[in-house]
Chains A and B, each alone.
Chain A
Amino acid sequence: METTNCIETSGLNYHFSKNDHVLKDINLAVPKGSIYGFLGPNGAGKTTTLKLILGLLKNQTGKIAFFGKNFHDNRIETLKKVGSLIEAPSIYPQLTAIENLKIWQKIYQCPKERIQVVLEIVDLAQSGKKKAGKFSLGMKQRLSIAVAMLHQPDILILDEPTNGLDPSGIIEMRKLLIRLNEQENTTIIISSHLLSEIEKLVTHIGIINKGQILFQGTLIELQRLQDRGSSILLRTNNSDAVLKILEEKKIVGKVENDAVVLPAISKEVIAELVKSITNQEISIYEVSQQKNDLESIFMDLTK
């Protein structure tokens, strides 16, 4: 069966003990070629979901499918197409970056040349004989990403890959993932507990909290939620008079911090309103749109 989603889960449940339900009815749909941001506060169930998807935890109930095929029936074939980084970096500290990558090159049976290619991509080509144990956390993280992309997977599953990276490292990683997505058409699932960290990167978002998916859709759909929650702020020298004008125009407004706040309206209506206000010789100090940022939507959803 042809599907536009490269990963789909349905009715995924997981519990460590009878009363400790970690995941409840998780239905993920990760479209091919997307960068899917998997967002949720710490302990929300992100890592558990990703571990289940990779077969690291035994599935209790529900189904996991990659490219329309059941994961458990096609585990080895599926994992050939998947690169992953789950939680902390997986590296052998007594080995150099090249030796670390050699291990995975043997297992994935990919060309030796890939080692140098990925080292250059993650900017570790100059690490030489330095043992990975002596790397900074950022370097370790980059080496783990090199491991994940060594065999040119169709899907990259990255669990909080920006942990331990400094702001420039985060920007670099963002560029790298966008490049991989655009040039190699790699589908990327990236989990994070910070929306601000991934909102400039992702095309799709899934928000999870307390083991339940609260939102799943495109970034545009999430932004629509954002627009729905936005408002207009009018700061003048006479708020009461402005309220009267609004009443005449059948617009509901209220005074907050010496300014009038009204629901989002079209720019034509705003222009007309400004004209009416100035006609009454009221001084306007500020007209602005108060947007709910994505972070506050995330916070609202996960409250």
Chain B
Amino acid sequence: MNYINNIQAEWIKTKRTASNWLVLVGGLFIPLITTLVYFHQEITLNTLPKNGWASHYSSSWEKMAIFLLPMGMILAGSLITQIESKNNTWKQVHATPQSFTNIFFSKFTVILFMSLKFFIYFNIGVLLSGLIPTLAMEGSMPTDSFPFWDVLKLNAKIFIACMPILAFQYFLSLRFKNFLVPIGIGLLGLIGTLIGGPWDHIYLSPYAYTFYVVMPKETWFNTSFFALISFAMIMVVSLFLYLRSKDKG
């Protein structure tokens, strides 16, 4: 019960914050550009190869997952935690009657919810960016059926691939009060991963998993499984260090 209440409290804190705007703008940016391109080049879901919906979704996710999605996760994972550092409220949070573990997990749950919100906005955006040009230019609904389960599966895989980024950014923003540090490290990590893409052990980078999902290549490991292992390891280390920190004020 305490955990649920704490999540509700954490959710109130995100009201009118930059993170809220970020997920809205970040989630709708690619669909908006796609809509403009479709109108400009007279593309509709019926002109796309194979199943129009499937092609439209995978191409939208590809554009998103390379840079914008990890970047959004870096910001979401960092900014929500920074609400406390920026407002000097950690001391008040830590003086409340709840375990530190509860505080740690409820805050991270809100980061997950915020990311989920980002996914929902993006999916609605992708749906509309396919539907609106088709309806406007052809005056009828797309002929292909909507591949609901494939879309859901792809979303789930990408969401899992984002979890190591969120966990790592959470870990960083708990360690450093200055929000530039986690965001700076996140950006460098992401760019480094993009450059180091061909390296055999790039899976060691928490920023690498979203690429593997949208641009599948031969790997000896299961991306989602590795992402979950990486996520769990980062969270355990992060929790351990958080519980051990001497100054919680």
Cα–Cα, bound, A90→B86 (Å): 10
Specify the chain A residue showing the minimal Cβ separation from B103.
Answer: A107
- Chain A, 60-82, contact with B by CB distance < 8 Å: what is the 0/1 string? 00000000000000011111101
Contact of A54 among B1, B95, B247 (CB under 8 A): B95
Cα–Cα, bound, A86→B88 (Å): 10
Cα–Cα, bound, A84→B248 (Å): 14
Contact of B97 among A51, A80, A91, A103 (CB under 8 A): A80
Contact of A90 among B8, B15, B17, B88 (CB under 8 A): B88
Asked whether B15 lies within 8 Å of A88 as measured between CB atoms, the reply is no
Instruction: Tell me the minimal C-beta distance from A122 to chain B in angstroms.
Output: 16
Residue A58 lies at the interface, judged by CB distance under 8 Å to chain B: yes
Cα–Cα, bound, A31→B203 (Å): 59
Contact of B249 among A56, A75, A82, A92 (CB under 8 A): A56
Instruction: Tell me the minimal C-beta distance from B87 to chain A in angstroms.
Output: 6
Asked whether B16 lies within 8 Å of A94 as measured between CB atoms, the reply is yes
Asked whether B9 lies within 8 Å of A107 as measured between CB atoms, the reply is yes
Asked whether B248 lies within 8 Å of A57 as measured between CB atoms, the reply is yes
Specify the chain B residue showing the minimal Cβ separation from A56.
Answer: B249
Residue B96 lies at the interface, judged by CB distance under 8 Å to chain A: yes
Cα–Cα, bound, A78→B9 (Å): 21
Residue B89 lies at the interface, judged by CB distance under 8 Å to chain A: yes
A-B contact count (CB 8 A): 88
Instruction: Tell me the minimal C-beta distance from B114 to chain A in angstroms.
Output: 15
Contact of A86 among B1, B13, B95, B247 (CB under 8 A): B95
Instruction: Tell me the minimal C-beta distance from A72 to chain B in angstroms.
Output: 12
Specify the chain A residue showing the minimal Cβ separation from B18.
Answer: A94
Residue B219 lies at the interface, judged by CB distance under 8 Å to chain A: no
- Chain B, 1-19, contact with A by CB distance < 8 Å: what is the 0/1 string? 1100110110011011100
- Chain A, 17-55, contact with B by CB distance < 8 Å: what is the 0/1 string? 000000000000000000000000000000000010011
Specify the chain A residue showing the minimal Cβ separation from B91.
Answer: A86
Asked whether A99 lies within 8 Å of B91 as measured between CB atoms, the reply is no
**Which bracket fits the contact residues of B?**
20 to 34
Specify the chain A residue showing the minimal Cβ separation from B247.
Answer: A57
Instruction: Tell me the minimal C-beta distance from B249 to chain A in angstroms.
Output: 4
Contact of A93 among B2, B5, B12, B87 (CB under 8 A): B87
Asked whether A90 lies within 8 Å of B91 as measured between CB atoms, the reply is yes
| Number of A residues, CB within 8 Å of B | 33
Instruction: Tell me the minimal C-beta distance from A187 to chain B in angstroms.
Output: 16
Contact of A51 among B1, B16, B83, B249 (CB under 8 A): B249
Asked whether B97 lies within 8 Å of A77 as measured between CB atoms, the reply is yes
Contact of A92 among B83, B97, B246 (CB under 8 A): B83
Residue B175 lies at the interface, judged by CB distance under 8 Å to chain A: no
Specify the chain B residue showing the minimal Cβ separation from A86.
Answer: B91
Instruction: Tell me the minimal C-beta distance from B113 to chain A in angstroms.
Output: 15
Asked whether B92 lies within 8 Å of A106 as measured between CB atoms, the reply is no
Asked whether B6 lies within 8 Å of A92 as measured between CB atoms, the reply is no
Asked whether B15 lies within 8 Å of A94 as measured between CB atoms, the reply is yes
Given contacts A56-B247, A91-B89, whether A79 and B95 have CB atoms under 8 Å apart is yes
Asked whether B88 lies within 8 Å of A87 as measured between CB atoms, the reply is yes
- Chain A, 94-110, contact with B by CB distance < 8 Å: what is the 0/1 string? 11000100111011110
Residues from chain A with a CB closer than 8 A to the CB of B83 are 92
Asked whether A106 lies within 8 Å of B246 as measured between CB atoms, the reply is no
Asked whether B12 lies within 8 Å of A99 as measured between CB atoms, the reply is yes
Contact of A107 among B5, B15, B249 (CB under 8 A): B5
- Chain B, 147-165, contact with A by CB distance < 8 Å: what is the 0/1 string? 0000000000000000000
Contact of B13 among A56, A76, A92, A131 (CB under 8 A): A92
Given contacts A57-B247, A86-B91, 16 further A-B contacts (CB under 8 A): A54-B95, A55-B95, A56-B91, A56-B247, A56-B248, A58-B246, A79-B96, A79-B97, A86-B92, A93-B87, A94-B17, A95-B13, A95-B15, A102-B9, A102-B12, A104-B9
Question: What is the interface of chain A, defined by CB distance below 8 A to chain B?
Answer: 51, 54-58, 75-80, 82, 84, 86-88, 90-95, 99, 102-104, 106-109, 131, 147
17 contacts between A and B (CB under 8 A): A51-B249, A54-B94, A56-B247, A56-B249, A79-B95, A79-B96, A79-B97, A86-B92, A87-B91, A90-B89, A90-B91, A93-B87, A95-B13, A99-B12, A106-B5, A107-B5, A107-B97
